[in-house]
Amino acid sequence: MKNKYLALLTVLFLTSCGEQKEISLDAVLASNDLKQIKAKKSEIDLQQQALTLDLKKINDKLDALGEDKNVPLITTLQVKEQVFTHFIALHGNVKTKQNVLVYPEMPGILKSVLVKEGQQVKQGEIIATIDDGGMAQQLTQLETNVQLAKTTFERQQRLWAQKIGSEIQYLQTKTAYESQKSAVSQLKQQLQKSIVTAPFSGIIDAVFKEKGVVVAPGQGSEIFRIVNLSNMYIETEVPETYIRSITKDKTVEVHFPILNQTMQSKIRQVGNFINPNNRSFKIEIGVPNSNGAIKPNLTARLKLNDYTNPKAILIPQSIISENAEGAQFVYVVTDKKDQKAIAKRRIIETGKTQGDLIEVVKNLPADAEIIIEGARSVNNGQLVKVINKKYSNE
């Protein structure tokens, strides 16, 4: 009890005297005075709050002074030269130069039809005949007359060679013979028109007239349609801006959506005329058709190779920005040490695009390391931290 009073007197004395010496926690606890203990607790709580605030200030200052504070994290791309093949996409229709309607060359009754639809025929093969209206009999009579005129002329020629007879007789028989020969030749040509032949080898696609029908030359009197599916091509129009890059023998990828078939071909002909209505020129692309699956007027999608660079620099289009003057730029990293580097703005010039990539044609060497992720959040000359690096051919 005596010790309790002594401790309390000591605390009161020190407090009343204004002495700055702090009473120890042990002394307060030893006093067993509830009021003093609560007061000590309040004092320690205030000290703890003050220390917490001070600690936060210290941490904030350390963060502000830390070397990684405000340093953007980026990824980079190591560009390399690679082959760049550019294509333009067009549409075209399949055609064939050997797709012909066969018309009669003379009027008459269709005497015979010798082929069926889908039948293969060869060039010059007889496919129909037309009644000649008695021209065959006329030809027989004319040929007889020719033989008589020939005999008469030959006799007169021998006499004239012996100076027998008159010159006028010789000339008359000669003229008569030649006239008869000419008449036979003309009639044979006319009679040949009664025979309808295949103009080329192909397939009888359609038979329009039946045997016994009266036919005559002119529109609406076609007898057959003949198609040759082995000599197919695609015709399309190309904008005039490509007139220097789209040339004969250029590679073309041909896709037929209906057939789900893709093949490689080449341009076999380039037109020499610019259509003034749409400023385009025509090209022809040969189409192999060994199995006959490709038909005239079939739609095709075309990819034409208009540009190839074996040493191109390709970068993603998404990382390119523009300045106030409209110039394009990217950021490259320089002065790289460990993972730290400096971001430098690089003005570039670009060319053709293919998908998500674009070709850089000026001011970006093959060994440059450009910023990919984080490119929009850095500034020229800023310190950055590289956390990953990729290569353009990965």
> What span, in angstroms and rounded, lies between the C-alpha atoms of 23 and 31?
11
pLDDT at 348: 92
Identify the pLDDT of residue 301: 95
Rounded to two decimals, what is the model's pTM?
0.54
Asked whether residue 209 falls in the same domain as residue 265, the answer is: no
> Are residue 214 and residue 261 in the same domain, yes or no?
no
Among 226, 254, 281, the domain-final residue is 226
Tell which of 226, 257, 275 closes a domain.
Answer: 226
Which CA distances in Å does 246 have to 227, 280, 305, 346, 358? 30, 12, 8, 33, 21
CATH number at 280 reads 2.40.30.170
User: Are 137 and 221 contained in the same domain?
Assistant: yes
Shared domain check, 267 and 349: no
Helices (H), 133-212: 135-161, 167-192
| Domain CATH for 112 | 2.40.50.100
Q: Examine the domain organization and report whether 218 and 300 are in the same domain.
A: no
- Hey, which residues does 235 pair with through a beta bridge? 93, 284
CA distance 142 to 205: 40
DSSP state of 27: H
> In angstroms, rounded to a whole number, what is the distance separating the alpha carbons of residues 350 and 321?
12
Number of domains in the chain: 4
pLDDT for res 240: 92
User: Domain residues for 234?
Assistant: 91-96+227-308
Task: Clarify whether residues 77 and 119 are in a common domain.
Answer: no
Based on the fold, state whether residues 183 and 162 are members of the same structural domain.
yes
Render each residue's pLDDT in the chain as its tens digit; 394 residues: 444 434 444 444 444 444 445 677 777 777 788 888 888 888 888 887 887 787 777 766 666 665 555 778 888 888 888 899 888 999 999 988 888 889 998 888 898 999 999 898 999 999 999 888 777 788 788 888 888 888 888 888 888 788 787 888 888 888 888 888 888 888 888 888 888 999 988 889 899 988 888 888 887 789 999 988 887 899 999 999 999 989 898 889 999 999 999 999 999 999 999 999 999 999 999 998 877 788 888 999 999 988 889 999 999 988 999 988 889 999 998 888 878 889 999 999 999 888 888 999 999 988 889 998 888 888 898 888 888 755 555 5
Q: How confident is the model at residue 14, as a pLDDT?
A: 44
Is 227 within 8 Å of 206 (Cβ atoms)? no
Q: Do 365 and 285 share a domain, yes or no?
A: no
3-state secondary structure of 14: helix
Query: How many CA atoms within 13 Å lie on the side-chain side of 302?
Result: 29
Q: Report how far residue 56's alpha carbon sits from residue 63's, in angstroms, rounded to the nearest whole number.
A: 10
Our CA dihedral for 50, 54, 57, 58, rounded to 10 degrees, sits at: -160
Looking at the structure, tell me whether residues 113 and 221 fall in a common domain.
yes
Res 30: pLDDT: 79
DSSP state of 25: H
